[in-house]
Structure 1
């Protein structure tokens, strides 16, 4: 009997054990998540880079990653003062070095005093270091012309993305026809569609008007809302301003109209404002939703719920890797705000080096400080170059037959529309690809240029686009734009 039990045990061990976690048994919501910015085309770009390193011959010598807004990966130099303060905070022995300006040393000492154990290596409270939240509140108040900001309504985060996900988690509830619906712009930044898929919420698309430079139209918001009410409970409206991927900057009257619409329809407003420093077009100006809301007065200012987001990853800073940002909430229910605090505490705290960097971004050198002149010069140089690259991108694309690019008013992307021949569309369908994905894959294989197909951001049926950053250095960008335009002409001939 013992032998038979042993044999049975051995047989069980020899049998192939089925995996507990498979595609069939995993969370189906995660399977539905797609994030085009780092999707299949980027994976293929990584493979091509590896093949180039192995000496495999290609029609190009390097892969140009124009798929993501990563300024420093594209060659932008860090702002000196930001890095000086951070270096001093990370390695306080440098405070004795004569190679750092005195204002950077004072700033570093100020930050370290607010840290546990006077070290960036210590946890902070979950909502972020109190001193830095107070700095953010002063920054917002100054930005908005003196309208007060309360540090208790500010939560620091691991980039803006983390805060956006947190607020969406609070909003999602219900089942079936009562499931939360969230209005998002199309084209959109895929963080929104990916998060809504993961949370099993309902994505409600409203289309920006490409013929009017990607304008936001309240009539379109109303259409989307009315249709959505047949199958879900719309509870939130997201606006990205300046736009990603579309680069438009919303005028004040549009923001007022959106606030009135959200108020009338009882929608929670989410304002993604991470590109607020990136405004280039003449006549365009950034208006924060918070400022406009407060200036509209009652009943809007006292009742309309709003969460607005900012980050150190964009602007003139380009400090993507430090993962620092914040959300300010306005008119949020006090009990819900406590639940938000609880949710953030589960993840302990945002990276403390990122919090330190955020402090310097929202409290730059004052005119009387030794570092002021260099800081201002570096900041203005970055923004001026981005403005020139925005204009160059629009100009070169609009000279190419079959490509149309709206003005890049802000942010750091262009989202040109491309005409694709019917035979190319048919070939894409045969391969099981979206037509613009097929175009972008062919572009990558032949030129090494990596851009993201518009289908990853959403677009009107029958139109095709791609998103491309304007971040490469000017001469490399010019070459990239010309190569891309030439490839489109060749592709069009090939499939005509």
Structure 2
């Protein structure tokens, strides 16, 4: 945390370089952007670069020895793709990688290592995996282990059920585009338990590649006293049939955050209710294009929604590990809030849940002017300076739609101070 204090004292001086983080694109929201799709949606977007008109310039160079002109350029590609920006892994993170290589090559810096607080990669920060989740996925991946007495019976039961729903009883086969049927059933039952009996239909469940297909979401990470998670779906149900039967709603969950921290498995689900049949058909069509989400990630997601029950042998260990992670995150949330509020020029609201802090930073006018000279948002300039001078990699709030005239950065609480 002393690195933030160092930067606070230096605010308004120095320079940096970078680009603004900004909006991304999701499965349901707004205009999409793909890599090579046709009109308005692909990298090439519009006329095919393989038309005779596109080939004409290249043909002129045949036999001349001159280099062939590139068909795909920044000017000819789909502008929607060119406009996509992802702050979490944008220019600041690229610069952080460069600095790490510079440190490895012996270049002297004011710090010895880069602290990556830009993303909540739990296991990379030392969080231990949940044993039961790894056991089930291991059994699904290598079924010969089902005969191994070292694995608990409840893990084997879940693994066998998942494998029986897979083609050829193998995790290496494609699943249905919407996901493995028994896992979607488990997701629906989980949602009903979570929401106190509010009905959930497996046909409304879509297993996803993490939650990044839609939104990041947290259902277990609630730390503040007298606070608990309330789903929008449950609230709609309590508002009555007029809302519950008509309001379109998409909700998400994943294996990446919470007590699991299994970011690499890319497991998640999306529940969509009250969607127009024609729109639902379009959604299914888009899902079909990707074939299916990773089946190993689907298996991991099944453990999240179908954990050990109190009467099962793995329950006690599972609860100990889960509570240890959540208690650790709660302690870090409190510590993060307290320490940020000790740094001049930083103000941090109480952290009630989630994995991230979004402290507000008060940037001096001179620094704002300097940022403009480099065509940067002020908080991007701040974050780049923070990285260059202290080695801390965070994400500017301008990549998340902050209130106009205010500046923030996002800090992953799982990171080390």
User: Normalization by structure 2: what TM-score?
Assistant: 0.83
Give the match's secondary structure for 2:174: coil
The whole-number CA distance in structure 2 between the counterparts of 1:360 and 1:76 is: 18
Please identify, of 107-116 and 95-104, the stretch whose mean Cα deviation from structure 2 is larger.
95-104
Q: Are the structure 2 counterparts of residues 131 and 424 from structure 1 closer, same or farther at C-alpha, using a change threshold of 3 Å?
A: same
Q: Are the structure 2 counterparts of residues 23 and 433 from structure 1 closer, same or farther at C-alpha, using a change threshold of 3 Å?
A: same
Matched, 1:309 2:252: yes
For 1:48-67, what aligned pairs fall within 5 Å after superposition? Answer: 48-67=99-118
Q: CA deviation at 1:138?
A: 0.3
For 1:78-97, what aligned pairs fall within 5 Å after superposition? Answer: 78-97=129-148
Give the match's secondary structure for 1:280: coil
Residue equivalent to 1:121: 172
Residue equivalent to 1:382: 325
Give the match's secondary structure for 2:245: helix
Give the match's secondary structure for 2:96: helix
Q: CA deviation at 1:10?
A: 8.3
Residue equivalent to 1:337: 280
Q: CA deviation at 1:438?
A: 1.7
Matched, 1:291 2:242: no
Q: CA deviation at 1:140?
A: 0.3
Please identify, of 366-375 and 430-439, the stretch whose mean Cα deviation from structure 2 is larger.
430-439
Matched, 1:373 2:334: no
Q: CA deviation at 1:81?
A: 0.5
CA-atom RMSD in angstroms: 1.6
| Contact 1:88–1:105 (CA under 8 A) maintained in structure 2 | yes
| Contact 2:61–2:68 (CA under 8 A) maintained in structure 1 | no
Give the match's secondary structure for 1:427: helix
Residue equivalent to 2:370: 427
| Contact 2:386–2:392 (CA under 8 A) maintained in structure 1 | yes
After superposition, what is the alpha-carbon deviation per residue over 1:62-90, rounded to whole angstroms, capped at 9, x for unaligned? 11100012111111111010001111111
* Bigger proportion of residues as helix: 1
User: Normalization by structure 1: what TM-score?
Assistant: 0.70
After superposition, what is the alpha-carbon deviation per residue over 1:275-295, rounded to whole angstroms, capped at 9, x for unaligned? 111111112221101111112
Residue equivalent to 1:438: 381
The whole-number CA distance in structure 1 between the counterparts of 2:403 and 2:60 is: 60
Q: CA deviation at 1:9?
A: 8.9
Q: Are the structure 2 counterparts of residues 456 and 339 from structure 1 closer, same or farther at C-alpha, using a change threshold of 3 Å?
A: closer
- Higher-RCO chain (CA-CA 8 Å, sequence separation at least 6): 2
Matched, 1:411 2:354: yes
Q: Which runs of 4+ in 1 moved over 4 A?
A: 8-11
| Contact 2:61–2:67 (CA under 8 A) maintained in structure 1 | no
After superposition, what is the alpha-carbon deviation per residue over 1:326-353, rounded to whole angstroms, capped at 9, x for unaligned? 1111112233323322221111111100
Residue equivalent to 1:131: 182
Gaps of 5+ in 1: 1-7, 165-271, 481-496
| Contact 1:88–1:94 (CA under 8 A) maintained in structure 2 | yes
Residue equivalent to 1:347: 290
For 1:40-439, what aligned pairs fall within 5 Å after superposition? Answer: 40-162=91-213, 164=214, 274-439=217-382
Q: Are the structure 2 counterparts of residues 98 and 420 from structure 1 closer, same or farther at C-alpha, using a change threshold of 3 Å?
A: same
The whole-number CA distance in structure 1 between the counterparts of 2:286 and 2:92 is: 34
Residue equivalent to 1:466: 409
| Contact 2:237–2:243 (CA under 8 A) maintained in structure 1 | yes
Please identify, of 356-365 and 301-310, the stretch whose mean Cα deviation from structure 2 is larger.
301-310
The whole-number CA distance in structure 2 between the counterparts of 1:123 and 1:381 is: 36
Give the match's secondary structure for 1:68: coil
The whole-number CA distance in structure 1 between the counterparts of 2:393 and 2:304 is: 31
Q: CA deviation at 1:98?
A: 2.6
- Count matched residues: 359
After superposition, what is the alpha-carbon deviation per residue over 1:437-475, rounded to whole angstroms, capped at 9, x for unaligned? 222111111211101111222223332211101002xxx
Q: CA deviation at 1:429?
A: 1.9
Which of 71, 76, 85 aligns to 1:34? It is 85
| Contact 2:204–2:273 (CA under 8 A) maintained in structure 1 | yes
For 1:1-16, what aligned pairs fall within 5 Å after superposition? Answer: 12-16=63-67
Q: CA deviation at 1:121?
A: 0.2
The whole-number CA distance in structure 2 between the counterparts of 1:16 and 1:137 is: 58
Give the match's secondary structure for 1:14: coil
